[in-house]
Chains A and B, each alone.
Chain A
Amino acid sequence: MMIDHPLLGLRDAQEFTYLGDASLIDRPDWRSDTAQEEFHDYLYLRDNPAGEHRELWYHEAGDRSWLVVTRNMLTHEITQVELARDVARARGRSK
C-alpha cells in the first residue's frame, strides 16, 4: 500500500505503524460526570464500516507524523490523508 503523506508524498505503508480508528483522537474529558462510561466507549467501541474508514497511521520509520488516512475498507482506496495534529485541532483539541 502507498500512503500519500501530506508533507512527503507517496510513501510505502511499510514505513508506517497502524493504530486504528481516528476516533481515538476524541479522548473524553476526565472531569465529565460520566467520564467512566465515556472513556469505556472511547477505548472499546469501534465502528467497522464496509466502506470509508478514517484511521490513524504513524510514520514511524519516517518523519514521526501521525496521520489520519481515509481508506475504503473494501477496495483499499485511500481518498484523503491529513496530519493528525491538524485533524485534532479541527476537532477542538488543544492542551
Chain B
Amino acid sequence: MTEVNRLDGGQINRAKEVSFTFDGHRYKGYEGDTLASALLANGERLMGRSFKYHRPRGVLTAGSEEPNALVELRKGGRQEPNTRATVIELFDGLEAAPQNAWPSLRFDAMAVNDRFSNFLTAGFYYKTFMWPKAFWEKIYEPIIRKAAGLGSISFEEDPDLYDKGFLHCDLLIIGSGPSGLAAALTAGRSGARVILADEDFRMGGRLNSETLALGDQSGADWAAAAIAELADMPNVRLMSRTTIVGAFDHGTYGAVERVQDHVAVPQEGKPRQIFWRIYSRRALLCAGAMERPIAFADNDRPGVMLASAVRSYLNRWAAAPAQEIAIFTNNDDGHRTAADLIAKGVSVPAVIDVRADAPSVAGTELLAGAEVIGTSGRLGLSSVTVRLANGQTRKVNCGALAVSGGWNPNVHLTCHQRGRPQWDADLAAFVPGTDLPVGMSVAGAAMGQLSTAQALSSGACGAATALEAIGITASAIDLPEAEDAPISLKPFWHVSGGKSRAWVDLQNDVTVKDVKLAHQENFVSVEHLKRYTTLGMATDQGKTSNMLGLAVMAELTGKSIPETGTTIFRPPYTPVAMGTLAGRATGKHFHPTRKTPSHRWAEEQGAVFTEVGDWLRAQWFPKAGETHWRQSVDREVLQTRNSVGVCDVTTLGKIDVQGKDAAAFLNKMYANAFAKLPVGKVRYGLMLREDGIAYDDGTAARFAEDHFVVTTTTANAVLVYRNMEFARQCLFPDMDVQLISTTEAWAQFAVAGPNARKLLQKVVDPEFDLSNEGFPFMACGEVTVAGGCRARLFRISFSGELAYEIAVPTRYGDALVRRLMEAGEEFGVVPYGTEALGVMRIEKGHAAGNELNGTTSALNLGMGRMVSKKKDCIGNTLSEREGMNEEDALKLVGFRPVKSDETISAGAHLMNASGAVNAKVDQGYVTSAAYSPVLESSIGIGFLKNGDARKGEIIRAVNPLAGQEIQVEVVSAHFVDPEGERLRA
C-alpha cells in the first residue's frame, strides 16, 4: 500500500519509517504517527465494523474519545482488544486486526444484522428473549455472545509486567495544552513541585493540531519550547503517555503511564504500564474540550469525522482523510478546517453551515442555512446530500466530511466525586460546577475558556491561585499573543427528516430513533435512557454521544438540556487493564510469603509445604518409599506418640504483654482468670468476642509479675493484636500495659512424646532441672541451650503427650532444629508437620479453627465453666444470654464409625439414628475428622445437640453432597489419654 494521502509537513519523523500490518495488509508510516493517522495517510478509511449491526465504520476522532476505530492489537498473550487506533502510537512490526468483522472487514457476514435492524432496536434483549425462559442460557445467550460484544481476547497469559508507584506534588496539572503549559510554566518557575501529565505521547494538546500562532511562533513550536524549559526544571515531572484516570478523595489521583505500549516487546524486566497513585496538594484540570458531532442520516459512513480530528490529521500527522473534504458545521470553528485544508492543497467542495448568517470562507463555496440529510458510498463516503436553505437538495461529492457541532469541555474528572456540571448557554455545553473535588480547580477549554488566549491566561492564573492557597507565591509569566475568537455557535444537534437512521452513539449503535423509542416507552430519565438504549456505555463511555442523546431527549420531552440532566462520570476516564491495577502483585507475589525458621532445613528433608495464612509450613515429611501422604502422617503420629517428634510452631502469634496492669488486662481479654497465675506458669486461655462467641485461644505464660507472653492461633495473630490494642487504648486507657508482637523474634519448636524430656535434657544446658518436679506440666521459664544460647521453655502440649515448646532467637532456629534431630537420633525422633499436628489434636479433642468457627460459644466447646462470672471480660455479659445457654445446646463430642472401615467426613451433618434427614431435625455437625493411626479408625469431633448426655448413642453422619450416610457412635472427644496422664508424666 502507498501513502496516497500523505502531505508535507506535520510532526512526524520522516527519517524513521515504520512498517505495520492492519487486517493482514502491510503498510508504512512514520515514527510519530498513530495507527489511525497512518491508515488515513495510506488511503484507508474503513477501520472496523460496528457492535450491533456490523456496519462499516471509520475513524471519528483523533483522540482517546474514539468510539469507532477499535482494533485488536498484537497477537497471542499480548493481544489486546478494544484499543483505539487514534491513540495507538505506531511502532515497527505493529500488528492490528479489525474487530467484529467475519470473515473480513470488507465483507462481514454479520452485516445481515443491519437488514433486521427493526428487530434489534433499543431494548430488544428484554423484549425478544423473554420466552421460552429455558432458552436463554442454552440458546439465546451463546448466540448473542458470539455475534455481539467488542473485541476478543486470546486466553493466553499476558507475558508483560505491570508496576505501581507513588508520587507527591504541590500541583498536579492534568493536560498539557495551552492552559496546562501556561500553568506548568507558572508553577514550575515558582519552585513548586509540579507534575504535568498528558495522555498523549506528544505534549502540547491542540497546539500541535492547529495552525494558530502564539506570538511569532507556531503553536507547536511554542509548546515544544515550553516543554523543553519544563524538562530542565528539577521540580517538574513531565509525564507524557499518562492518563489521569480518577480523581479520588483528598487530592489523591490515579494515573496510568503507558511506559512501553509503543514498542513491540517491552524490555525484559521493565514494566509495560505503571499505575501511579499521585498525592497532590492541589490539582489543576486542563483537560481541554472535545468536539461533538451532529447527527444526520447515515452519519456513520467511514469518512464522516469531527472537524477538529481532520485538522489534527492534517496539521500534526500530515495525513488527509481524503482528497476532497466537505465541512458541516454550526460554528466558526468548523470554518478553520476549510482554511487549513485549502492551505495544504486539499480540495474543499463546500462548507455546509446550518447558520443562515454564516460568514463566507475563502476558496470554497458556502452553503449557509443548509443541512446534510444523507450520505452515500459503499465502504466509505463518496458524497453527501445537502438540503439547501431554499429547500432544494444537492449532492456534494467528497471522500470525507468534517463535522463540527461545537465543543464539550472535558468535565469528567470534576464529576468523580459526584460533582454536577452546570449548563453554559453561550457554549451550549456543560462546564464544571462549583462542587469540585477538594483541591481541584479547572482552567482552559475544560472550563469553557475556548480561545487560545483565554486558555493561556486561565492556565497561568489558575496555577498561581492554586499555589497561593498552599502558601506558594508564583509570579505572573509573559504569555504570547494568541487567537481570541468569540463563541459563534448556533446550538444544533441533529438533522431531522432524513430517510435513514441518524446515529447518536456509534460505539453502541444507538440512533436518534432509539432515543425516541426510549422516550415513547417512558424511559426519559437519562439514567434510564442509558440503560435502555446502552447509550454511553462501553469503552468510550459516551464521550462523543452523551450530549447528543441528552439533546434529543430534551427535544422530545420539551425540556431544556440542563433540566433533562447529565449522566455521572465515574473513574476510569479511559479503560484501564486489570493487569495494570494489579501491578506486580500477581501470582505468588499477591501476598508476602512468611517462612518459618526451619524452612531451609525442612526443604532439605523434602518436606511438603502448605500455606497457613501467609506462612508456609511443613505439612508432612515424606520418607523414601512412602507413596501416599497418609503413610507419612501415620508414621509421624505413631512415632511421636511412641517416642518423640519435633514440630516448628513459630507461626503461633506471640504478644509480649508488660506493665503493672498486665494481669488485670489479660483478665479483660480472656474469658478465664489470669490474675492469680503464678510466675513461671502457663495457662490456657479462651478469648470471646463481645457477643459471647469464642474466637481465639492460646496460652499466656507469666515470666514476671508484670510480664506475660501470650500466644494466639496462627490465623488470628493480627486480629488478636488489633483487639488487644483496641481494648488498651479505647476501653481501658489508664491501665499500665504495653504490647508488642514478638512472633518473628523467636523460633519455637514443639518437642512431644514420651522421650521429649530425655531429648531436651541433651540440648538444654545441664544446670536447668527438667524433671517433672523441677519443671512440671504448664511450667515456663528462661533457660539456655547448646552451651549458653538464651532460650525460653514452656511445658505445654497440643498433642496430649509429654511435651515442651522451646524457643531461641530466630537466627538460631535452623541450628536448633538440626541439634534437636541430632540429639533425638537415639530415640528415633521424627519431624512432624501440620497434618500430624492436626491428627494428634483431633485424637486429643482440642478445639482449633474448625471448632472456633465464629458460631460457637464456650459452652458449645465444653468450656462453659471456664468463663469467669466473677470478673468483667470481653464477651462474658452477652455470653449469658438466654439463647446461648439452652439445655440442648450443641456440645463438642467425638464420633467413631460403627463400621470401622467407614470414613467420617468433616462437614457431615448429624441426624438421629432413624427418621427424616433434613435441616429441621438436624442434630449438629462434624467439624474435624481424621484417620487415627492410634485407634486404627476414622474419627471425628463436632457439635451435637445435648452431646454430653448422648455418649454411647448411635446416630448418623450424613453428607448429602457426596451421597454419604454412615452410622457413628457418640464418644468423648478425648480419644487418646482422656485422663491426661501422659502430659503430666
Which residues from A are CB-within-8-Å of B251? 2
Which residues from B are CB-within-8-Å of A89? 733-734
Bits for B654-668, please: 1 = Cβ < 8 Å to A, else 0.
000000010010000
Q: Is the CB of B726 within 8 A of A66?
A: yes
Q: Is the CB of B249 within 8 A of A2?
A: yes
Which residues from A are CB-within-8-Å of B732? 93-95
Bits for B877-906, please: 1 = Cβ < 8 Å to A, else 0.
110110000000000000000000000000
Which residues from A are CB-within-8-Å of B252? 1-2, 12
| Nearest neighbor of B873 in chain A, beta-carbon distance | A30
Q: What's the Cα separation between A23 and B322 when bound, in Å? A: 70
Bits for A23-45, please: 1 = Cβ < 8 Å to B, else 0.
01101101100011001101100
| Nearest neighbor of A87 in chain B, beta-carbon distance | B730
Interface presence of A19 (CB below 8 A): yes
| Nearest neighbor of B166 in chain A, beta-carbon distance | A12
Interface presence of B527 (CB below 8 A): no
Which residues from A are CB-within-8-Å of B250? 1-2, 10, 76, 78
Q: Is the CB of B881 within 8 A of A36?
A: yes
Q: What's the Cα separation between A86 and B725 when bound, in Å? A: 14
Q: What's the Cα separation between A53 and B664 when bound, in Å? A: 33
Q: Is the CB of A25 within 8 A of B880?
A: no
Residues of chain B from 234 to 286 with CB closer than 8 A to chain A in the complex = 248-252, 277, 279
Q: Is the CB of A58 within 8 A of B722?
A: yes
Q: Is the CB of B731 within 8 A of A66?
A: no
Interface presence of A81 (CB below 8 A): no
Residues of chain A from 52 to 95 with CB closer than 8 A to chain B in the complex = 56, 58, 60, 64-66, 75-78, 83-85, 87-89, 93-95
Q: Is the CB of B731 within 8 A of A25?
A: yes
Q: What's the Cα separation between A19 and B252 when bound, in Å? A: 23
Q: What's the Cα separation between A89 and B722 when bound, in Å? A: 19
Q: Name the interface size band of chain A.
A: 35 or more
Given A85-B730, A93-B731, also A58-B725 (CB < 8 A): yes
Q: What's the Cα separation between A91 and B251 when bound, in Å? A: 33
Q: Is the CB of A35 within 8 A of B877?
A: yes
Q: Is the CB of B734 within 8 A of A36?
A: no
Which residues from B are CB-within-8-Å of A88? 729-731, 733
Q: What's the Cα separation between A58 and B66 when bound, in Å? A: 45
Q: What's the Cα separation between A94 and B730 when bound, in Å? A: 9
Given A30-B877, A88-B731, also A66-B249 (CB < 8 A): no
Given A1-B252, A30-B876, A39-B690, also A85-B725 (CB < 8 A): no
Min Cβ gap A73→B in Å is: 12
Q: What's the Cα separation between A10 and B725 when bound, in Å? A: 22
Which residues from A are CB-within-8-Å of B726? 19, 56, 58, 66
- Count of chain B residues near A, Cβ 8 A: 30
Which residues from A are CB-within-8-Å of B735? 95
Min Cβ gap A37→B in Å is: 10
Query: Which residue of B248, B249, B661, B730 is within 8 Å of A24 (Cβ)?
Result: B730
Q: What's the Cα separation between A87 and B733 when bound, in Å? A: 10
Which residues from B are CB-within-8-Å of A65? 729
Q: What's the Cα separation between A31 and B277 when bound, in Å? A: 50
Residues of chain B from 837 to 884 with CB closer than 8 A to chain A in the complex = 872, 876-878, 880-881
Min Cβ gap B264→A in Å is: 35
Which residues from B are CB-within-8-Å of A77? 438
Query: Which residue of A28, A60, A76, A93 is within 8 Å of B733 (Cβ)?
Result: A93
Given A1-B252, A76-B249, A78-B250, also A36-B730 (CB < 8 A): no
Q: Is the CB of A36 within 8 A of B725?
A: no
Bits for A1-20, please: 1 = Cβ < 8 Å to B, else 0.
11000000010110001010
Q: Is the CB of A27 within 8 A of B731?
A: yes
Query: Which residue of A35, A43, A83 is within 8 Å of B690 (Cβ)?
Result: A43
Interface presence of B691 (CB below 8 A): yes
Which residues from A are CB-within-8-Å of B876? 30
Given A1-B249, A24-B730, A65-B729, also A36-B880 (CB < 8 A): yes
Min Cβ gap B788→A in Å is: 34
Residues of chain B from 734 to 759 with CB closer than 8 A to chain A in the complex = 734-735
Q: What's the Cα separation between A32 and B364 when bound, in Å? A: 93
Q: Is the CB of B279 within 8 A of A2?
A: yes
| Nearest neighbor of B874 in chain A, beta-carbon distance | A27
Min Cβ gap B718→A in Å is: 8
Which residues from B are CB-within-8-Å of A1? 248-250, 252
Which residues from B are CB-within-8-Å of A2? 249-252, 279
Q: What's the Cα separation between A87 and B726 when bound, in Å? A: 13
Q: What's the Cα separation between A65 and B664 when bound, in Å? A: 21
Bits for B267-310, please: 1 = Cβ < 8 Å to A, else 0.
00000000001010000000000000000000000000000000
Q: What's the Cα separation between A42 and B881 when bound, in Å? A: 15
Q: Is the CB of B878 within 8 A of A85?
A: no
Given A1-B250, A36-B877, also A30-B729 (CB < 8 A): no
Q: Is the CB of B734 within 8 A of A94?
A: yes
Min Cβ gap A36→B in Å is: 6
Q: What's the Cα separation between A1 and B251 when bound, in Å? A: 8
Which residues from B are CB-within-8-Å of A40? 878
Given A1-B252, A17-B722, also A43-B729 (CB < 8 A): no
Q: What's the Cα separation between A36 and B878 when bound, in Å? A: 6
Q: What's the Cα separation between A27 and B511 when bound, in Å? A: 61
Which residues from B are CB-within-8-Å of A42? 690
Min Cβ gap B733→A in Å is: 5
Q: What's the Cα separation between A35 and B729 when bound, in Å? A: 22
Q: Is the CB of B877 within 8 A of A25?
A: no
Q: What's the Cα separation between A77 and B881 when bound, in Å? A: 40
The interface centre, meaning the residue of B252, B872, B877 with most chain A CB atoms within 10 A of its CB, is B877
| Nearest neighbor of B661 in chain A, beta-carbon distance | A95
Query: Which residue of A12, A13, A84 is within 8 Å of B729 (Cβ)?
Result: A84
Q: Is the CB of A85 within 8 A of B877?
A: no
Min Cβ gap A49→B in Å is: 18
Min Cβ gap B416→A in Å is: 12
Min Cβ gap B891→A in Å is: 24
Which residues from A are CB-within-8-Å of B277? 12
| Nearest neighbor of B875 in chain A, beta-carbon distance | A39
Q: What's the Cα separation between A94 and B877 when bound, in Å? A: 19
Min Cβ gap A89→B in Å is: 5
Q: What's the Cα separation between A42 and B690 when bound, in Å? A: 10
Min Cβ gap B667→A in Å is: 11
Q: What's the Cα separation between A77 and B725 when bound, in Å? A: 27
Given A2-B252, A60-B722, also A93-B878 (CB < 8 A): no
Q: What's the Cα separation between A43 and B872 when bound, in Å? A: 16
Which residues from A are CB-within-8-Å of B279? 2, 12
| Nearest neighbor of A94 in chain B, beta-carbon distance | B734
Min Cβ gap B706→A in Å is: 15
Query: Which residue of B248, B730, B877, B881 is within 8 Å of A56 (Cβ)?
Result: B730
Known: A13-B249, A84-B730. 8 other contacts (CB 8 A): A27-B731, A30-B877, A39-B690, A39-B878, A42-B690, A43-B690, A56-B730, A65-B729
8 residue pairs from A and B, CB less than 8 Å apart = A1-B250, A12-B252, A25-B730, A30-B876, A66-B726, A66-B729, A93-B734, A94-B734
Query: Could you list which residues of chain A lie within 8 angstroms of chain B, going by C-beta atoms?
Result: 1-2, 10, 12-13, 17, 19, 24-25, 27-28, 30-31, 35-36, 39-40, 42-43, 56, 58, 60, 64-66, 75-78, 83-85, 87-89, 93-95
4 closest A-B pairs (Cβ-Cβ)? A2-B250, A30-B872, A94-B734, A1-B249
